[in-house]
Structure 1
Amino acid sequence: MKRRQMLTMTGAAAVAASLTACGGGGAGVEFHRSRTRQLSSTTRFDAARFAGRWEIRGEFVYPGEKPSFGAVNLTQSNGKIVALDVYGPSGLLDRYETKQPAPGRISVGTPPFDTQYWVLWVDADYRTAAIGTPSGSFGWIIDRSRSGGEDRIKAARDVLGFNGYNLSRLQTR
């Protein structure tokens, strides 16, 4: 599935899962995170420091899928993240306009089908971050470098686990 489809479909899938759960029928969609766990975004988010290029060092995948391990670039203006570019091995895959409704929360799409990507944790020097969705449909560990910083990657992994993510589905490099 193309990255654009994945990013925009997570909102629709979350709505579908909610409707299935409300209707009492079927098992619903199994996401990467237990929604019984509370989720919160970091309160010490600085869009200017968060902007720039990040390498995807960890990605949640379903059994049989392979992670892309691409990169993302975030653009900020007036203290808010306003764009997200997603890169794959062959270059730019997609560009998304974003909104930032609250510190550490980046929204892609239009309600009610928008998806919010929450920055769950970022290290003090803005080198590594853990990002997830409240639904649990998506999660990344991003880092400024393609390698190194294993202690920070482990910390981001621990944050995702604490927030109810199924770490057996997390592929890291």
Structure 2
Amino acid sequence: MLISACAAPPAANVEIGFRNPTAPIGGTSRFDKARFAGDWSTVACLGTCSTEVRYVVATDDVFVRQAEGQDTPYLISAPGVLRQMGGDETLVVMWIDEGFRTAAIGDADGRWAAILNRNRKAARDRITAATEILDFNGWDVAKLRKVEG
């Protein structure tokens, strides 16, 4: 009598992100590439975030994210939605204040999100608004941490 041993297949390496993947996420209709371009400081973060980042308009539909000595090009596929060229990351600018001073941005896959500000001293009301938007878009804001420059 032959008995074969059956083993369960190895478990897939599942990465749990900082965002509920069933929650809807969308880019802000207020997004304006020329006004969004420039230098930003990360004041709060989920996951791994660069403390300083710059967005540069390369062409009509291409933005370049400069962070930690690396330039990453993104195609602007919809207002506030930036798809990495030659990669799989999609950045979503979920909110930006009217003065383009504070923004809530994150990776659509839930690997990281950040509250960006034009300088290190963001107004409390704008930080609160950005945090509420992250929460609305399914992010685990209980894990949001302040970033010191």
> TM-score, normalising length from structure 2?
0.83
Gaps of at least 5 residues in structure 1 are 1-22, 62-66, 88-92
1:73 aligns with 2:54: yes
Deviations 1:18-38 (A, max 9, x none): xxxxx9x55821100111211
Q: Could you tell me which residue of structure 2 aligns to residue 164 of structure 1?
A: 138
Distance 1:124 1:81, change over 3 A: farther
Asked if structure 2 preserves the Cα contact closer than 8 Å seen for 1:51 and 1:81, the reply is no
> Which one of 37, 46, 60 corresponds to residue 60 of structure 1?
46
Task: Number of aligned residue pairs: give it.
Answer: 139
| Counterpart Cα distance in 2 of 1:68 and 1:101 | 23
> Which one of 21, 32, 36 corresponds to residue 46 of structure 1?
32
Q: Could you tell me which residue of structure 1 aligns to residue 84 of structure 2?
A: 108
Gaps of at least 5 residues in structure 2 are 1-8
Asked if structure 2 preserves the Cα contact closer than 8 Å seen for 1:59 and 1:69, the reply is no
Asked if structure 1 preserves the Cα contact closer than 8 Å seen for 2:40 and 2:116, the reply is yes
State the 1:79 CA deviation. Answer: 4.3
> Which one of 103, 107, 125 corresponds to residue 133 of structure 1?
107
1:28 aligns with 2:9: no
Task: Tell which structure's C-alpha radius of gyration is larger.
Answer: 2
Moved over 3 A (4+): 77-81
State the 1:95 CA deviation. Answer: 1.4
State the 1:51 CA deviation. Answer: 0.3
Judge which range, 73-82 or 153-162, deviates more.
Answer: 73-82
Aligned alpha-carbon RMSD (Å): 2.2
Deviations 1:67-115 (A, max 9, x none): 666111001145444211014xxxxx311122111121112242xx421
